[in-house]
Amino acid sequence: MSKNKHTEILVIGAGPGGYAAAFRAADLGKKVTLVDRDEVMGGVCLNRGCIPSKALLHITKVMDEAASLSKAGVTFGKPKIDIDTIRQHKDKIVSQLNNGIAGMAKARKVDFLQGKAMFRSNSEVEVVNGKKKEVLSFDQCIIAAGSSSAMLPNIPKSKNILTSKTALELENIPKTMLVVGGGVIGVELGQVYATLGTKVSLVEFLPNIIPGADQDIVKPLERKLNKQFDSIMLNSKVVNIKESKKNVLSVTIEKEKTPTIIEYEKILIAIGRKPNTNLLNLKATSVTINDQGFINVDNYQRTSVKTIFAIGDISDNPMLAHKATHQGKVAAEVACGEPSIFDPKAIPSVVYTDPEVAWCGLTEIQAKTDDIPYSKAEFPWAASGRAIAMGANQGKTKILFDPDSKRVLGVGIVGPSAGDIISEGMLAIEMGSDAEDISLTIHPHPTIGETIGLASEVFDGTITDLYLPKKK
């Protein structure tokens, strides 16, 4: 039986962007209903992505660091892996955050409704949860329905073929695994399983892993993965997967048109994500979608229907939680009549591996492709006392500057805590800081963060922690 309800602002999707939008709109005095397919809020990021993967990455990073301490004279015994306890630890962290979001929703009097939301018109949706159906009319709607894992075509249905979601469930630790895709998800989860004892191989269609980043900041990670993984196959693609009666996956991998057949216990498909536009019955609305399946939006996150907004993974790349959060706040503010716009100068990207890789703003790849002039300054962590003490001397901090204004255009970092210190690079870009602004800022010593200041000193020619021959 269908019920009819009305809400001022309807938010579809309770991920980082969705609940940020709902909470901001509620703070601005609106009656808000938040709808999600899951029983709990948080979306893919909290429940099946960012948070559980970082919990596991932290465990494996500590394991690796403990093993490396033998070089410093401290030796631990071989770690004992209790997969059930690890899984419970991960789930406890997720549950704690779930409860926190639910508490904030309750405090703000945001109505939460579980179910699949499908549009009936430009002003109505039907929310279906089993046999229960509700029709919700709205004044304004914010779509934050996210994305799903992309899959290879024509592969068999098998519990041994994993997505990022099922890989994070950590059902067991397989003896062998093939990771298909050398992007962020592939290398992060591949490193988790490799550290826990799986013999991991990785196949990537392109000539490099983490193709969106400059390869000089990826190289230290690649060197680490070459030691941890059984093999990394670049310029290669999976052309066929067959499963035997013994649950063994036989994979045909092609490189330079030469096929090789290798058997694996598990396969993780990590070839990217696709927007969930096909789940919303958008054909019942006037909302337009581009060729890539994203909902078309302007800088105010408005769709072609001015009372319907779209944010996060469903609206554009990059598919990042922190981007969705900011877009969610913008959409909520615009919907509430507040002046707001999504117009960032840069969006940071982080690979939470060991070592971490982070970048923001202009990359050298982009600069060369688009013929953008730039100057570059680097500070090698081999000259950082803190990095040497941590055994992280292969790290690097790189800053790209405008040759004329000396302003920061982009930052790339590889090494421990790269994801944390990239924020200073983001602030510099947003504030229009130049090299002198950063080099004259006193950074604490000894820290990894001071490498940002030291890289700026390299550009200014004022560096004393390195010897640079005078330019003739």
The residues annotated with a catalytic role in the active site are: 445
Helix/strand/coil for 203: strand
Distance CA 190, CA 212 (A): 18
Instruction: Respond yes or no on whether the N-terminal peptide bond of residue 318 is cis (omega within 30° of 0).
Output: yes
Distance CA 394, CA 456 (A): 19
The token pair at 432 is: 């229009």
The token pair at 453 is: 């200041």
Listing DSSP states for 160-200 in one string gives: TEE-HHHHHT-----SEEEEE--SHHHHHHHHHHHHHT-EE
294: DSSP letter: P
Distance CA 411, CA 452 (A): 9
Task: List phi, psi (to 5°) of 191.
Answer: -65, -40
Q: Are 267 and 161 in contact (CB under 8 A)?
A: yes
Task: List phi, psi (to 5°) of 121.
Answer: -165, -170
Q: Are 141 and 18 in contact (CB under 8 A)?
A: no
Task: List phi, psi (to 5°) of 89.
Answer: -60, -50
417: left (phi over 0), alpha (psi -120 to 50) or beta: left
